[in-house]
Protein backbone atom coordinates (compact mmCIF):
# COMPACT_ATOMS: atom_id res chain seq x y z
CA UNK A 1 0.00 0.00 0.00
CA UNK A 2 1.19 3.50 -0.76
CA UNK A 3 0.14 5.39 2.33
CA UNK A 4 1.18 8.75 0.96
CA UNK A 5 -1.14 8.39 -2.00
CA UNK A 6 -4.02 7.30 0.21
CA UNK A 7 -3.68 10.33 2.44
CA UNK A 8 -3.41 12.63 -0.57
CA UNK A 9 -6.58 11.14 -2.00
CA UNK A 10 -8.49 11.64 1.23
CA UNK A 11 -7.30 15.24 1.53
CA UNK A 12 -8.06 15.96 -2.07
CA UNK A 13 -11.43 14.30 -1.60
CA UNK A 14 -12.38 16.76 1.06
CA UNK A 15 -11.88 19.55 -1.47
CA UNK A 16 -13.89 17.58 -4.00
CA UNK A 17 -11.14 18.05 -6.53
CA UNK A 18 -9.95 14.54 -6.93
CA UNK A 19 -9.30 13.06 -10.29
CA UNK A 20 -11.99 10.70 -11.48
CA UNK A 21 -10.75 7.27 -10.44
CA UNK A 22 -12.06 3.73 -10.71
CA UNK A 23 -14.79 4.45 -8.17
CA UNK A 24 -15.72 7.74 -9.80
CA UNK A 25 -15.89 11.28 -8.45
CA UNK A 26 -17.26 12.15 -5.04
CA UNK A 27 -20.54 13.15 -6.65
CA UNK A 28 -20.72 9.86 -8.48
CA UNK A 29 -19.93 7.97 -5.31
CA UNK A 30 -22.65 9.84 -3.45
CA UNK A 31 -25.09 9.05 -6.22
CA UNK A 32 -24.09 5.39 -6.13
CA UNK A 33 -24.54 5.38 -2.35
CA UNK A 34 -28.00 6.87 -2.68
CA UNK A 35 -28.87 4.32 -5.32
CA UNK A 36 -27.67 1.47 -3.09
CA UNK A 37 -29.70 2.83 -0.22
CA UNK A 38 -32.87 3.17 -2.29
CA UNK A 39 -32.41 -0.36 -3.53
CA UNK A 40 -31.85 -1.60 0.00
CA UNK A 41 -35.04 0.11 1.19
CA UNK A 42 -37.04 -1.33 -1.67
CA UNK A 43 -35.70 -4.83 -1.08
CA UNK A 44 -36.46 -4.57 2.63
CA UNK A 45 -39.99 -3.28 2.01
CA UNK A 46 -40.65 -6.09 -0.45
CA UNK A 47 -40.01 -8.53 2.41
CA UNK A 48 -42.29 -6.81 4.88
CA UNK A 49 -45.19 -9.25 4.48
CA UNK A 50 -42.91 -12.15 5.28
CA UNK A 51 -41.30 -10.30 8.17
CA UNK A 52 -44.71 -9.47 9.62
CA UNK A 53 -45.96 -13.04 9.29
CA UNK A 54 -43.10 -14.24 11.47
CA UNK A 55 -43.14 -11.23 13.82
CA UNK A 56 -46.83 -11.76 14.50
CA UNK A 57 -46.03 -14.95 16.40
CA UNK A 58 -42.72 -13.93 17.92
CA UNK A 59 -44.52 -11.03 19.60
CA UNK A 60 -47.24 -11.51 22.17
CA UNK A 61 -49.97 -9.66 20.30
CA UNK A 62 -50.85 -8.11 16.99
CA UNK A 63 -50.16 -4.61 18.35
CA UNK A 64 -46.74 -5.62 19.63
CA UNK A 65 -45.95 -7.22 16.30
CA UNK A 66 -46.85 -4.04 14.44
CA UNK A 67 -44.71 -1.94 16.77
CA UNK A 68 -41.80 -4.29 16.45
CA UNK A 69 -41.95 -4.41 12.67
CA UNK A 70 -42.11 -0.64 12.52
CA UNK A 71 -39.16 -0.21 14.86
CA UNK A 72 -37.23 -2.85 12.95
CA UNK A 73 -37.66 -1.00 9.68
CA UNK A 74 -36.77 2.34 11.24
CA UNK A 75 -33.56 0.83 12.57
CA UNK A 76 -32.83 -1.05 9.35
CA UNK A 77 -33.18 2.09 7.26
CA UNK A 78 -30.83 3.96 9.59
CA UNK A 79 -28.18 1.27 9.65
CA UNK A 80 -28.52 -0.08 6.15
CA UNK A 81 -24.76 0.18 5.62
CA UNK A 82 -24.13 -2.60 8.09
CA UNK A 83 -26.06 -5.02 5.88
CA UNK A 84 -23.71 -7.05 3.73
CA UNK A 85 -25.13 -7.26 0.21
CA UNK A 86 -25.49 -10.81 -1.00
CA UNK A 87 -26.36 -12.16 2.44
CA UNK A 88 -29.87 -13.00 3.61
CA UNK A 89 -31.74 -9.73 4.08
CA UNK A 90 -34.82 -11.38 5.55
CA UNK A 91 -32.69 -13.07 8.23
CA UNK A 92 -30.90 -9.75 8.90
CA UNK A 93 -34.23 -7.99 9.45
CA UNK A 94 -35.46 -10.76 11.75
CA UNK A 95 -32.24 -10.55 13.74
CA UNK A 96 -32.91 -6.86 14.38
CA UNK A 97 -36.48 -7.68 15.28
CA UNK A 98 -35.62 -10.40 17.80
CA UNK A 99 -33.00 -8.14 19.42
CA UNK A 100 -35.57 -5.36 19.77
CA UNK A 101 -38.01 -7.84 21.23
CA UNK A 102 -35.44 -8.88 23.83
CA UNK A 103 -34.50 -5.24 24.59
CA UNK A 104 -38.12 -4.50 25.30
CA UNK A 105 -38.03 -7.05 28.06
CA UNK A 106 -40.76 -9.05 26.49
CA UNK A 107 -38.76 -12.17 26.62
CA UNK A 108 -38.46 -12.78 30.31
CA UNK A 109 -40.44 -15.97 30.29
CA UNK A 110 -38.14 -18.96 30.50
CA UNK A 111 -39.05 -22.35 29.24
CA UNK A 112 -40.50 -24.29 32.14
CA UNK A 113 -38.13 -27.03 33.16
CA UNK A 114 -40.73 -29.34 34.54
CA UNK A 115 -43.25 -29.81 31.81
CA UNK A 116 -45.02 -33.10 31.74
CA UNK A 117 -43.51 -34.85 28.81
CA UNK A 118 -45.28 -34.49 25.56
CA UNK A 119 -45.35 -38.20 24.87
CA UNK A 120 -44.09 -38.92 21.38
CA UNK A 121 -44.31 -37.59 17.86
CA UNK A 122 -47.46 -39.52 17.09
CA UNK A 123 -49.30 -38.32 20.18
CA UNK A 124 -51.71 -35.93 18.48
CA UNK A 125 -52.52 -38.30 15.64
CA UNK A 126 -53.17 -41.14 18.03
CA UNK A 127 -55.39 -39.06 20.27
CA UNK A 128 -57.43 -37.70 17.39
CA UNK A 129 -57.65 -41.12 15.82
CA UNK A 130 -58.88 -42.66 19.08
CA UNK A 131 -61.70 -40.17 19.14
CA UNK A 132 -62.74 -40.57 15.54
CA UNK A 133 -64.91 -43.21 13.95
CA UNK A 134 -63.08 -46.17 12.59
CA UNK A 135 -59.84 -45.83 10.71
CA UNK A 136 -58.64 -42.24 10.61
CA UNK A 137 -58.20 -40.47 7.33
CA UNK A 138 -55.18 -38.18 7.75
CA UNK A 139 -56.70 -35.16 6.10
CA UNK A 140 -59.97 -35.47 7.99
CA UNK A 141 -58.07 -35.78 11.21
CA UNK A 142 -56.25 -32.52 10.53
CA UNK A 143 -59.48 -30.78 9.59
CA UNK A 144 -60.87 -31.44 13.03
CA UNK A 145 -58.59 -28.68 14.28
CA UNK A 146 -60.00 -25.20 13.87
CA UNK A 147 -57.89 -22.20 12.93
CA UNK A 148 -58.51 -20.71 16.37
CA UNK A 149 -57.34 -23.92 18.03
CA UNK A 150 -54.10 -23.74 16.12
CA UNK A 151 -53.42 -20.07 16.81
CA UNK A 152 -54.19 -20.58 20.51
CA UNK A 153 -52.04 -23.71 20.69
CA UNK A 154 -49.08 -21.95 19.11
CA UNK A 155 -49.29 -19.05 21.53
CA UNK A 156 -49.40 -21.49 24.43
CA UNK A 157 -45.98 -22.90 23.47
CA UNK A 158 -43.27 -21.28 25.67
CA UNK A 159 -41.27 -18.56 23.89
CA UNK A 160 -37.97 -20.37 23.51
CA UNK A 161 -39.64 -23.25 21.73
CA UNK A 162 -42.15 -21.15 19.86
CA UNK A 163 -39.48 -18.92 18.32
CA UNK A 164 -37.80 -21.78 16.50
CA UNK A 165 -41.12 -23.21 15.30
CA UNK A 166 -42.14 -19.78 14.02
CA UNK A 167 -38.84 -19.23 12.22
CA UNK A 168 -38.42 -22.71 10.74
CA UNK A 169 -41.96 -24.00 10.19
CA UNK A 170 -43.74 -20.74 9.46
CA UNK A 171 -40.96 -18.45 8.26
CA UNK A 172 -39.18 -21.15 6.26
CA UNK A 173 -35.78 -20.25 7.65
CA UNK A 174 -33.06 -22.88 7.66
CA UNK A 175 -31.73 -24.17 10.98
CA UNK A 176 -28.60 -22.13 10.32
CA UNK A 177 -30.55 -18.90 9.78
CA UNK A 178 -32.66 -19.54 12.87
CA UNK A 179 -29.49 -20.11 14.90
CA UNK A 180 -28.07 -16.78 13.76
CA UNK A 181 -31.30 -14.86 14.26
CA UNK A 182 -31.73 -16.17 17.80
CA UNK A 183 -27.99 -16.22 18.54
CA UNK A 184 -28.05 -19.82 19.75
CA UNK A 185 -26.14 -22.91 18.55
CA UNK A 186 -27.67 -24.90 15.73
CA UNK A 187 -27.94 -27.96 18.00
CA UNK A 188 -30.15 -25.91 20.32
CA UNK A 189 -32.34 -24.93 17.37
CA UNK A 190 -32.80 -28.60 16.54
CA UNK A 191 -33.56 -29.73 20.06
CA UNK A 192 -35.97 -26.84 20.70
CA UNK A 193 -37.68 -27.50 17.41
CA UNK A 194 -38.10 -31.15 18.23
CA UNK A 195 -39.44 -30.47 21.69
CA UNK A 196 -41.48 -27.43 20.60
CA UNK A 197 -43.32 -29.36 17.92
CA UNK A 198 -44.28 -31.95 20.50
CA UNK A 199 -45.51 -29.30 22.90
CA UNK A 200 -47.54 -27.76 20.08
CA UNK A 201 -49.12 -31.10 19.31
CA UNK A 202 -49.94 -31.68 22.93
CA UNK A 203 -51.65 -28.28 23.05
CA UNK A 204 -53.55 -29.09 19.87
CA UNK A 205 -54.63 -32.44 21.25
CA UNK A 206 -55.97 -30.78 24.37
CA UNK A 207 -58.06 -28.23 22.51
CA UNK A 208 -59.30 -30.69 19.91
CA UNK A 209 -60.33 -33.22 22.54
CA UNK A 210 -62.07 -30.59 24.63
CA UNK A 211 -64.20 -29.67 21.65
CA UNK A 212 -64.87 -33.27 20.73
CA UNK A 213 -65.87 -34.20 24.28
Would you tell me which residues interact with another protein (CB under 8 A)? Answer: 34, 37-38, 41, 45, 48-49, 52-53, 56-57, 62, 66, 69-70, 73-74, 77-78, 120-122, 124-125, 136, 138-139, 141-143, 145, 147, 150-151, 154, 168-170, 175, 193-194, 197, 200-201
Minimum CB–partner distance for residue 82 and another protein (Å): 15
CB of 5 to another protein, least distance (A): 30
What whole-number distance in Å separates Cα of residue 199 and Cα of residue 121? 10
By C-beta, is 110 or 208 nearer to another protein?
Answer: 208
Cβ-based nearer residue to another protein, 56 or 98: 56
Query: How many Cβ atoms sit within 10 Å of the Cβ of residue 53?
Result: 14
Write down the least CB distance from residue 94 to another protein, Å. 15
In the complex, what is the shortest distance from the CB of residue 3 to another protein, in angstroms, rounded to a whole number? 32
Least Cβ distance, residue 2 to another protein (angstroms): 33
Nearer to another protein, 6 or 79 (CB): 79
User: Least separation, in Å, of the C-beta of 21 and another protein?
Assistant: 23
Nearer to another protein, 18 or 41 (CB): 41
Nearer to another protein, 9 or 32 (CB): 32
* Closest by Cα among 191, 118, 196, 192 to 157: 196
> In angstroms, rounded to a whole number, what is the distance separating the alpha carbons of residues 115 and 39?
47
* Long-range residue pairs from 130-134, CB within 8 A, at least 24 positions apart, any chain: 131/208, 131/209, 131/212
**For the chain, how big is the Rg over CA atoms in Å?**
24
Helices 186-212, 147-156: crossing angle, 10 deg rounding: 130
Q: Which is nearer to another protein, 19 or 189 (CB)?
A: 189
Q: Are 180 and 102 in contact (CB under 8 A)?
A: no
Residues 55, 67 contacting (CB under 8 angstroms): no
Q: How far is residue 205 CA from its own chain's centroid?
A: 26
Amino acid sequence: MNDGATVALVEAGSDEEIEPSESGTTAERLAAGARDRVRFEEDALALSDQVYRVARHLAGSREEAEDLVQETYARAFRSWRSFQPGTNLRAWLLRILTNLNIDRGRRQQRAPQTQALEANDYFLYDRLAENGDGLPDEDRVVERLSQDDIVAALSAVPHDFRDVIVLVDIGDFTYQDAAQILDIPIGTVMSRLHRGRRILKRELAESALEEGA
